[in-house]
Structure formats: C-alpha cells, structure tokens
Chains A and B, each alone.
Chain A
Amino acid sequence: MRRPLVFVIHITAVTIILLGLGSCVSNPDSSGLEYMPDMYRTPSIEPYVDYGEIRGRENMKYKMALSALTPPSHTVPYYGGKKDSVDISFMLPYIRKANISFRETHGLYGFDFSLADEYALAAKDINPLVLTNKNSSEMLMKGKELYTAMCQHCHGEKGDGNGPMVLSGAYVGVPAYADRSSLSDGQIFYSIYYGKGMMGAHNSLVSKKEIWTLVHYVRQFQNPDYGKFDESGNPKTKAISDSSATKTK
C-alpha cells in the first residue's frame, strides 16, 4: 500500500511544480517556455532577432543592435531572369544624383551627391517602360496596385491631393497632380526617388521599375486618356513626357 501512495505523491508534486513553473514566466517580453530553444534560435542571422545571446554565449557586438541592416551603399540589386537592356538599366544605379542639400533636408546621408541642379537635368530622362497597346492595361493595373499601397493615403485615390491622411487633418499641403502637369516623367521619377519638399525619399520602398510604372499611372490624373489606345493601336494622347515640355520653376 505504501509504494503506490508514494508514487502518487511524487507525480502530484512534479505536476504542481511543472505547472507552477509554466505559469511563473512573468516577464511580459518573454514569449514563454520553449521545448528546445536551440532548435528555435540559431546563430544564422535573421531580421529583427536579438542575437546578443546565443546558446548561453553573450555577444556584446550584437546586443542591443538591429539585425536588419541596410545593404552597403553602391550595392547593385540583381533580379535575375531574362535580361534585356531595360532590365539591366533597372539594376544599374540611378544616373541622377541627389542634390547636396538633400542630406540635411531629406536625411540622405551615405548617398552620392552632386552640386548641379540634378532635378532640372532629370527633365531629360525618358521613361524606359514604353506603354504600348499590348502592355498598357497590365502596366496601369500594376501601377494602380502600387499607387494604392504607396501613394494613395496622401495623394488621394483620384490624385487630387485629398488622401485619407489629408482628409483626417493629420497632414496638409499635398498638391494635386493636375496642378503639376508641366512636370516631365524624369522629374516625377526624381521626386519619388529622392523626395521633394515635404515628401521623403521613396527609393527604399519602391524599385526603379516600380517608380517608372507609377510615373505612367499618375499621368492619368493629368490626362484621363493617357495610356489609352484607339482601334488602330495609336495612343489617344501624345506622351506628355517630352523633354522639352518643362523646366523647373
């Protein structure tokens, strides 16, 4: 009789201790007990994980430092796949440099700078993505997707500068695209890439190809016929992106 009773008492005690331990993880920043921590956390670096301590070893270099880092400057993205000259141009660095003042106004430390008025020079740049009768609808659909995610909250669904951020009163001073029809494609690209005025640089958010797609899309706000083709396949509008169309104000 004595032995089973002892066994029962032991099991009970172990259970209570285990349950107690399980509920005693009071640190709210800890996600609780893990079965096998060495299978959960490995030394291979992943973004947003604190690598200050790995398997009991403390590494002060990584303690309180982010593991998600920006690539070194002058890193060239490689997209792979089939490549033509247009694809390669997207992998190469952007030919226009930021104005030297952009370091202080837009925080672009670590970029290449120029003393020339690169924004004016960018007016000459031509959109490498050519809208044709075939790719137009697909390109503009992709543009709409990007615009909804990246621009719409300030610039508004219709491009009138009345996005939800402006309507809620949080942000002011977003111009309408229709008021800026004198801008060339290259200048729109430059503004998205390095920012302009209150708008910040968006080169970390959208790739060069995506920016050029967006340039096509926002042209529709200035001209509803932009990107539409008649039955014979000719564009309904002459492209606005003439290099002669504008100079900076």
Chain B
Amino acid sequence: MKISNIQKIKRMPSKFIFVFSLLVFLSPSISFADGGGNFKAKCSSCHQPHKNGTGPKLFQARQKWSTGGAKEGSIYQWVNNWQTAAANDPYAAGVSKWSATAMNAFPELSKVQIDEILDWVDAQPDPATAGPANGAPVVDVDPASSEEGGNTWLWIILSTMFIIIILSVGGVRRQLKISTGESTPNDNLTYTEEFKAWAWKYRLPVGLGTLVIFLSLIVTLFQGLGRINVVENYQPSQPIAFPHDKHAGVNGIDCKYCHNSVTKSKSAGIPTVNVCMNCHKQINGEGKPYAAEVKKIYSAAGYDPTGSGKYTGNTKPILWNKVHVLPDHVYFNHSQHVVVGGIDCKQCHGDMTKMSEAVKVQPVEELNKIEGNIKLSKPTLTMGWCIECHGAKEVSLGDGKNGYYDEIHRRLRDNDKSLYKKYLKDGKVTVSELGGWECAKCHY
C-alpha cells in the first residue's frame, strides 16, 4: 500500500504536466479530437493533408472549393456521395476529373464530422516547409578513396627527387675528390663500374643482401598474383545513391521484398522499378536532400508526379553496376543457399541495415564481426571462402523444411556405411560431407 501510494504521488506531477501540456499545445485540437481519428480510419489511405496521393491533398480544401466557385455545402455532399455532388455542382464535376480513380462514398459521415476532419487537416503543419526535422543526412561517396591515389603519386615524385639529389651530390663529391687529388682520375670509371668494383669488394654482404631482396620480391610477386581477382572492397559507382540503411534498417523492409527472386532463382534480383514505385509513388522526397534521387526513379518508371500523378508509359532502364560478379565457370544459386540451406543474407553480404553507402563486397573481416555468422578466413568471393564455409556449415536434418539434405543423407547412410561412420566421428553433419565439396556441384 505504502509503495503504491508513493508511486501514485510520484506519477502525479508527470501526469499533470502531460495533461497540462496537452491543453496548452493542442488546445484547438479538442474541438476536433475525433477528426484525426476519422481521417486516419476513412480518408488517409487515399488522402494526405499536404501531398497529393490517390486523392488530392486536403489542406484548406473548403477554402479551395469556395474560392473555386463551388456551391455552398457541395463539399459535404461530395464526401457522402461524390456522384450526387458532381451531378448538382459543376465545380464538383470538375473535381471528379482530377483522377481516374473514383472516390469511395461515405454516407455515414455527418456535416459536423466532415468539418472535424477538415479542421484537423487544416491544423496539420506542412512537413515540406517545416524543413527536414529528422531528415536523412546526405549520402555522399567517401572522398578518402580518391585522395589515396593522389598520395601514392606524391610519394613516387618525392622519392624520385630524393634519388636525383643523392646521385647529384655523389657526382659532385666524386668531382671534388678528383680535383683535390684524393683519388686518381680514371677516364673509363663510370658509376656502373665503380658499383661493380664496390660490390666485388664486399661480395659476401652484397650477395646475401641481393638474395634476401630477390626472395622477398618473389614472395611479393606471388602475393600480388594471389590478390588478382580478389574483389574484396569492390565498390562500383551506382546510378542512384541508394542507402540500404534507410530502407532495410530504419523502415524495416525485408531484403526479400526488393530482392524477391532470391527464394526462387539463381539470381537474387535487383528490384525492377515498379517495386521502387510501390513506396516511392508516395515518398517523393519533396524538400528532402534525396529528392533528386527519387526523380531518377520517376524518370525510369515513366511517372509524372505532378497533380494526381500519372504513368506515361515512357520507361527506361536503370543501369546498376553489378557488384558481386562471379566468374562464368562457377555456378552459384541463391535459392539453394537461402531456401534449402537456410543461410541468412548477412553471412555473405554483411549487415545491410547499417550500410549507408553504395554496396560493396564486404571483406571477410567485416563479415566475421557479425553475430551469428560462420567465421571464415579466406577473402570474400574466393573459392577458398566458399569451400571453407561448406566445410563448416552444419546441415539440419529432418526438420521437415525440405527433403533435399534428408534424401542425400539417406543415400549416404544406406550406400556407404564406412564413410558414414567416418563422417559421424565429429558428431556433426556438414555440407561438405553431403557432397558440398564435389567439383561438379559448382563447376560444370
């Protein structure tokens, strides 16, 4: 009892402040308290206060109608049944041509209720003029990558200058020595000959040093050859600055919505522009930094966002640059991995809900940091990386999800008892033990 009393007292001020602030800030809203609720339930799927959608924006609709020359009370008739209003009032008939989509009839709304709704709408601030309150920061390409190249050139120029200075100082020193008579002038003694004489004089350390340099260069050469075709961190430019973190992170869109062929096909699929338009028909980014990017979608989809919005049918492709390119002699199938194997996208693609820049091939170190990922050591998208994962990934058998591994497991058990026993020694069944290391699985 005591505790609850204390709690009550503690809560009192906050409750009071809440009610008070509600009274102060939303005092006009009390008169149309129901307007917002009715708007959300009945109007909002087509209308917005400040943006045209399926229906026109409703901000100050009554003023617009009266200044446009509509008959008194015609707007209420329109909401109850637009067809009767259009028959009685030429202005309403004009409004009915705004879009090809006809408005639903709402005979249950009284004049007072409609006024409440429109009062509520008129009280809504315009988000476009209010500025980007929680607007996204502009997605920009990291400038560090372009500056790195400049640095290398600077180093090359500096070291060349350094070598020239050393050589000229050496030349001056030699001339000085000759002129002072410290060394005997020899007409044929060039730099090379002098170097040869010097190298012969100290042949043991010079020979050993050369061997070390030679071997390390060979090692570097083979390391360099080993990096050819390793595409970690490959991040090509893209025609639209698409932030994955806004889509998959903030707005919680499932990867499989846009990359919807991932469960059915070899390719995960880059969304066609009609998928973009499912949301961006409404989200036009007006007044936001990304408005220009959305315009690119509109021009690709052949969509004219003015007025009620109209598709013109004049479409053109968006030319995305492919990021994860596998050589043609490798067969990789997304649906096999996602549906049958049950692999999460982030095992290979990283945590895209936090990726604000263009897509890149995530280096294996980044992938290993992600919780739940199988930890691998070879570079991403190399054969070693695939093989390593196939050797580590355990297969869940008999979960009824699909019969693929169950069937392979059954055949192994029935046909090759000794091999089956050998595999069972470590107590787990991996992909490689069920044929995941067979060459022809990926190369044919």
> Which A positions have Cβ atoms within 8 angstroms of B?
1, 8, 11-12, 15, 18-19, 22-23, 26, 28-35, 39-42, 44, 46-50, 64-66, 68, 70, 101, 103-107, 109, 148-150, 152-154, 163-165, 168-175, 179, 195, 197-202, 204-206, 249
Contact = CB atoms under 8 A, between A and B. Distances in A.
Contacts of A12: 213-214, 217
Interface in B328-355: 328-329
A200 B283 CA distance: 13
Contact of B48 (A19, A170, A173): A173
26 contacts: A15-B217, A18-B221, A19-B224, A28-B237, A31-B231, A31-B236, A34-B228, A34-B229, A40-B327, A47-B269, A50-B319, A64-B319, A65-B317, A66-B319, A105-B309, A153-B252, A172-B44, A172-B48, A173-B45, A174-B45, A179-B41, A195-B278, A200-B275, A204-B272, A205-B260, A206-B260
B148 to A, nearest CB: 10
A11 B214 contact: yes
Q: Main SS of chain B's interface residues?
A: loop
Contacts of B325: 31, 40, 49
Given A200-B277, A204-B272, A149 B257 contact: yes
Given A39-B328, A165-B253, A170-B251, 9 more contacts: A28-B236, A29-B321, A31-B231, A32-B234, A107-B274, A149-B256, A163-B252, A179-B41, A198-B54
Question: Quick one: which of B237, B252, B260, B329 has the most chain A CB within 10 A?
Answer: B252
A199 B321 CA distance: 29
B254 interface: yes
Given A29-B236, A107-B311, A165-B251, A15 B221 contact: yes
A155 to B, nearest CB: 11
Interface in B256-279: 256-257, 260, 267, 269-270, 272, 274-275, 277-279
A81 to B, nearest CB: 14
Contacts of A68: 267, 269-270
A111 B258 CA distance: 22
A204 B320 contact: no
Contacts of B6: none
A103 B217 CA distance: 65
Nearest to B100: A101
Nearest to A42: B328
Nearest to B252: A164
B327 A39 contact: yes
Contacts of B391: none
Question: Quick one: which of A19, A70, A107, A171 has the most chain B CB within 10 A?
Answer: A107
Contacts of B46: 173, 197-198
Contacts, number: 185
Interface in B211-226: 213-214, 217-218, 220-221, 224-225
A118 to B, nearest CB: 14
Contacts of A168: 250-252
Q: Main SS of chain A's interface residues?
A: loop
B45 A47 contact: no
Interface in B195-242: 200, 210, 213-214, 217-218, 220-221, 224-225, 227-231, 234-237
A105 B308 CA distance: 9
B300 to A, nearest CB: 11
Nearest to A29: B236
A107 B53 contact: no
A168 B136 CA distance: 12
Contacts of B260: 149-150, 205-206
A47 B334 CA distance: 13
A31 B277 contact: no
